[in-house]
């Protein structure tokens, strides 16, 4: 998981957080429209759109939601000193197929980053950026990314839309998991414990998961501090598995296809050294490890 050069580790933590946050809403009465690809204009302020906002209907609603989640997690929206806008998404080498999927939709370039096992996708032509902004406008909700989106919208003279209200059917959750999530198990009290986790530097940027899917949020003081949303209950994980089916595209998300097998072997206690099923458990764990985080 790479977020604009910042890497976060998943660790078990000490501080439990609860409460609620207000999520800004916008009208869903969105109209189709077009946006000129003329010269850059730099208005002094960029109004926040509501029911009168227009957008280009180029991509499916599901793709726009998912892409916004990926950008919120692993992307950057940039404006250069010369006024050129661009999008960058950096992910581990195992997710090159995900980046190519985005490239097939938007155009742009993918390059191997020097010195690390990661690829960077970049979109910088103005026409492509205008299409992108009309796709993700209203779906971006990460605190840092919203500020970046506002700067790009100001540069392109596009009215920014407040984030739409999330529900369990929104593909944003899948995109953000592809970027900042993980699914794994560890041994706790001599028994495997499966968990699904999503991390971010700010509480409000993982609180969305707790509001919709339950679970708990913890604070980890390492890495200069970050917040981790987590579920470990079997019922909740199976619900997440059903939600993510057909929505995620990251390499790690393929572990959801192994969840049923995990629970079957867990019930057989195949993880125990004296189990007649231990060989099957060992084969399973090797298969699990190949789907690296």
Instruction: Considering the domain delimited by 176-290, tell me its CATH architecture.
Output: Roll (3.10)
CA pair distance 39, 195, nearest whole angstrom: 50
* CATH annotation of 24-161: 3.10.28.10
- If we measure between CA atoms, which residue out of 177, 171, 173 comes closest to residue 199? 177
The candidate with the shortest Cα–Cα distance to 213, out of 264, 176, 252, 179, is 176
In the chain, alpha helices (H)? 61-74, 96-106, 126-136, 143-156, 172-180, 204-213, 234-244, 259-267, 278-290
Instruction: Yes or no: say if 209 and 230 are a contact pair by the CB < 8 Å rule.
Output: no
End-to-end CA, the chain: 8
Q: Left if phi > 0, otherwise alpha if psi is -120 to 50, otherwise beta: which for 243? A: alpha
The pLDDT, as a whole number, for residue 48 is 52
Q: Which residues of 165-199 are buried (b: 16+ CB within 10 A; e: fewer)?
A: ebeeebbbbbbbbbbbbbbbbeeeeeeeebbbbbb
Whether 67 and 102 have beta carbons less than 8 Å apart is answered as: yes
Output the pLDDT for position 293: 60
Token look-up 């913890």 returns: 218
| All residues at 6 or more sequence positions from 137 whose CB lies less than 8 Å from its CB, including other chains | 49, 53, 55, 149, 153, 158, 160, 161
Residue 265 to residues 19, 88, 253, 271, 275, Cα–Cα distance (Å):
36, 41, 20, 7, 11
Burial class of residue 90 in the structure, from the number of CB atoms within 10 Å of its CB (0-12 exposed, 13-18 middle, 19+ buried) = buried
Tell me how far apart the alpha carbons of residues 202 and 125 are, in angstroms, rounded to a whole number. Answer: 31
Strands 160-161 and 48-49: parallel
Q: State the burial class of residue 96 (Cβ atoms within 10 Å of its Cβ: 0-12, 13-18, 19+).
A: middle
Q: Cα dihedral angle (272, 274, 277, 282), rounded to 10 degrees? A: 60
The reply to whether 24-161 and 176-290 are identical in fold is yes
Q: What is the pLDDT along the chain (293 residues), one digit of tens a residue?
A: 444 443 333 333 334 343 333 333 333 333 344 343 333 444 445 555 433 334 454 799 999 999 999 999 999 999 999 999 999 999 999 999 999 999 999 999 999 998 888 999 999 999 999 999 999 999 999 999 999 999 999 999 999 999 999 999 999 999 999 999 999 999 999 999 999 999 999 999 999 999 999 999 999 988 789 999 999 999 999 999 999 988 999 999 999 999 999 999 999 999 999 999 999 999 999 999 988 76
The token pair that represents 54 in the structure block: 């227009």
Q: What are the residue ranges spanned by the domains of the chain?
A: 24-161, 176-290
Q: What is the pLDDT of residue 36?
A: 38
CA distance 221 to 234: 28
């Amino acid at each position: 998981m790479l977020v604009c050069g910042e890497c976060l580790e998943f660790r078990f933590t000490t501080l439990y957080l609860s409460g609620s946050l207000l999520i800004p809403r916008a009208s869903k009465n969105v109209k189709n429209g077009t946006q000129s690809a003329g010269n850059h204009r730099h208005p002094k302020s960029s109004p926040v759109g509501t029911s009168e906002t227009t957008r280009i209907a180029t991509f499916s609603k599901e793709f726009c939601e998912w892409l916004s989640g990926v950008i919120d997690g692993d992307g950057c929206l940039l404006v250069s000193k010369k006024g050129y806008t661009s999008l960058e998404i950096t992910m581990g080498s195992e997710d090159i197929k995900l980046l190519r999927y985005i490239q097939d939709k938007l155009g742009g370039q993918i390059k191997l980053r020097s010195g690390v096992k990661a690829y960077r996708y970049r979109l910088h032509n103005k026409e492509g950026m205008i299409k992108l902004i009309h796709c993700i406008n209203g779906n971006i909700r990460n605190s840092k990314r919203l500020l970046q989106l506002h700067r790009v919208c100001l540069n392109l003279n596009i009215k920014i839309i407040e984030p739409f209200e999330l529900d369990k059917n929104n593909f944003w959750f899948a995109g953000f998991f592809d970027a900042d999530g993980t699914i794994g198990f560890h041994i706790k009290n001599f028994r495997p414990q499966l968990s699904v986790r999503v991390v971010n530097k700010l509480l409000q940027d993982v609180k969305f998961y707790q509001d919709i899917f339950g679970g708990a949020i913890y604070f980890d003081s390492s890495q200069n501090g970050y917040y981790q949303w987590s579920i470990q209950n079997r019922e909740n994980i199976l619900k997440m598995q059903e939600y993510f089916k057909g929505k995620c595209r990251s390499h790690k998300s393929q572990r959801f296809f192994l969840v049923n097998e995990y629970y079957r072997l867990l019930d057989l206690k195949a993880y125990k050294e004296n189990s007649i099923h231990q060989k099957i458990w060992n084969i399973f764990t090797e298969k699990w490890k190949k789907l690296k985080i």
